[in-house]
Structure 1
């Protein structure tokens, strides 16, 4: 090759090397939590990976951002999740663990760009691509759960407020507890066990018929868990039912609780009121046609009709208003020698735990004001003669899960 031609080719090669490689700047739109987000520096697609301006994106997601110019490291923190990205490197860190990136963070036209999907999912957010439109559902306001007690209280409060869904991030200690065998089924089972426990302890808040558990994870690390509740009636109707029964419960307490009463006298007054004003829903029980409200405090206190779960819920609600510690217990009771599903109350009075089964103290068929006290304020040993239950799930520690 002539020397002159070779020199020309070298010059062209040098010039080409100095020209920045253009990446595809697509007409991408981004929505975060239902709000359209417009970045001053437009999102860019490179090697089928969407890159976004670093600081603007992290701040839109509610993350705190730190930039170390000496190491060219970006650190973002939100809800206990820490992400570290280094310019030009395809290895990122999430809470100290290494993850490989498809495209490295890089400086383009003087601005630092980071991979959108990796960042969003690393924070536990949902990232959905839809024909050039990116939808991100951010969860930076969710609860961080570090123990069974935390989750128990979160679920209980959500049901008290008739919430449709809860979302939380499991802390490291609780994360390891709920996934001992590292399977999704185990996670679903453990979360469902807590929901069932709350509903058993607090039937007064349990106007739900079903729930679903979903898990969002990234590279085998759980980022968030959601529990969605399905109520027995539309939520607006359930809220009205709760308002009505809460108003009624307060009226009952004003009527039956007198100044100077001891806690045991208060418990007796509540026990007697429920029995005198409620009929066991025996016909529907026989025909297997029990309506949903018969399982609730609403059925007992408003309609005057219920089954054991409703009696238990009503006692819980009234006891709490009277300042008495009370929890529901689910187990079985012997019905003519045959174990049948049943519910009753465990109370803590003067520091001592005893049991009250209002349902079994209410004669069937109904006998008006006739009240039985065979299952009022009895010991565990006495109750265990014809009742069975998991004593670990229904232990005194749960009185303090508030």
Structure 2
């Protein structure tokens, strides 16, 4: 048996033909170049210290519309007021507004909070601010969103997005469970939107709904946008994955928190070019993941607290009866009968059972006891998550 091996980011990637006729692939699951925006990049221009001028620092009355948002709920009353002022300016396409703070760091924190709480602000990309002072004493601070289009173009784009989203959400009912809604969004996005580093508008939902190709920030924003429409609490989380800039989501299903990384579920972002047949797989390892599972590869970098996600009730593997705590070969083997209709993924609670499954079904070839094996059958291993995936070519 010959083996071709390459090294990628410390993980092995193998393609091999076994005596059983199964071809195996150990996926690296690497996503690079996501290009998420940092706070420093959001601040496009700083106009500081217009000394001696007396600006109109009148604070506009604003109404809070964010009481149920995750990050907003963690802010102080003073921070919430600044958040409300900044969001009101963005939603109403205002050029510049005075804010109830003299601290530019508060602006940065509130802008990050807004971007985590809202996924659909496609017409804004950063901001600038102006500091006013008299006799060396800071007297005022103004916030100016950086718009990527005028208000007419924004309305036209929003109408086009609404039309696409209405069709997309036609496949789900408001009566469906939280799990069903979340999985519908996950499946729909990973199956219909390609991962493309060169996609235009890839930091917002235009790339997803109107262009069908995006990167991690676009996936995370679109996930947030759709979850909001289905009344599923959701937040955008940014940080790194395998050391590269990345974005994913925190969601709440049936009162429990889970992580959801739509990018890592997408076949076009986790399949090497020479494994085109694997592109039919949706990887559920990153859907409703726990903190322990996701943080083996992901590291958040945010200015708000994150919960400990440790519930398995709405895990894909639990819900679909393919999570195994103990060694039950007959129960595991029964899953292979579904291979003719769709790929099969199975997750194991610990390394011992995971190792038994690999040895029994793959190395010893006992998958043939449950399914007719030929050269069209492939498998993938995710050793970090203890997941095996089998699929027909």
TM range (shorter): 0.5 to 0.7
Partner in structure 2 of residue 196 of structure 1: 112
Matched, 1:371 2:290: no
Pick aligned residue for 1:324 from 232, 239, 253: 232
Within the candidate set 162, 186, 196, 1:281 is matched to 196
SS of alignment partner, residue 268 of structure 1: helix
Aligned pairs, number? 238
Q: Is it true that 1:147 corresponds to 2:78 in the alignment?
A: yes
- Root-mean-square deviation over aligned CA pairs: 3.1
Q: Residue 231 of structure 1: CA displacement? A: 2.0
| 8 A contact 2:59–2:97 mirrored in 1 | no
On the 8 A contact 1:331/1:389 being kept in 2, the answer is: yes
Matches of 2:89 and 2:57 in 1, distance apart?
Answer: 20
Match for residue 304 of structure 2 among 381, 393, 399: 393
| Conserved? CA contact 1:355–1:377, under 8 Å | yes
Give the distance between the partners of 2:168 and 2:87, measured in 1 at CA. Answer: 24
Relative to structure 1, is the Cα distance of residues 246 and 125 closer, same or farther in structure 2, using a 3 angstrom cutoff?
A: farther
Per-residue deviation, residues 260-287 of structure 1 (Å, max 9, x unmatched): 31111100001111111100114x2xxx
Q: Which residue of 1 aligns with 2:222?
A: 314
More strand as a share of residues: 1
Q: Give 1:380 shift.
A: 1.3
Quickly say closer, same or farther: Cα 1:190–1:168, change in 2 above 3 A. Answer: closer
CA shift for structure 1 position 194: 2.0
Q: Deviations over 1:27-53 (max 9, x none)?
A: xxxxxxxxxxxxxxxxxxxxxxxxxxx
Aligned to 1:226: 142
CA shift, 1:199, in A, is 1.9
Q: Could you tell me whether the CA contact under 8 Å between 1:354 and 1:377 is conserved in 2?
A: yes
SS at match of 1:147: helix
Q: TM-score if structure 1 supplies the norm length?
A: 0.53
Larger Rg: 1
Once superposed, which parts of structure 1, at least 4 consecutive aligned residues long, lie more than 4 Å away? 142-146, 217-223, 365-369
Q: Is the 8 A contact 1:162 1:239 kept in 2?
A: no
Counterpart selection for 2:89 from 158, 167, 192: 158
* Unmatched 5+ stretches in structure 2: 1-50, 64-75, 308-393
Q: Trace 1:132-281 onto structure 2 (pairs within 5 A).
A: 137=56, 139=58, 141=60, 146-170=77-101, 187-217=103-133, 223-253=139-169, 255-281=170-196
Q: Distance in 2 between matches of 1:204 and 1:394?
A: 22
- Taking CA–CA contacts closer than 8 Å with sequence separation of 6 or more, which of the two structures ends up with the larger relative contact order? 2
d(CA) in 2 for partners of 1:140 and 1:148? 15
1:156 to 1:165, Cα distance in 2 relative to 1, 3 A: same
- Answer whether contact 2:193 2:213 (CA < 8 A) is retained: yes
**Could you give the per-residue CA deviations for residues 360-395 of structure 1, whole angstroms, max 9, x where no partner exists?**
100125866532101000111211100001365253
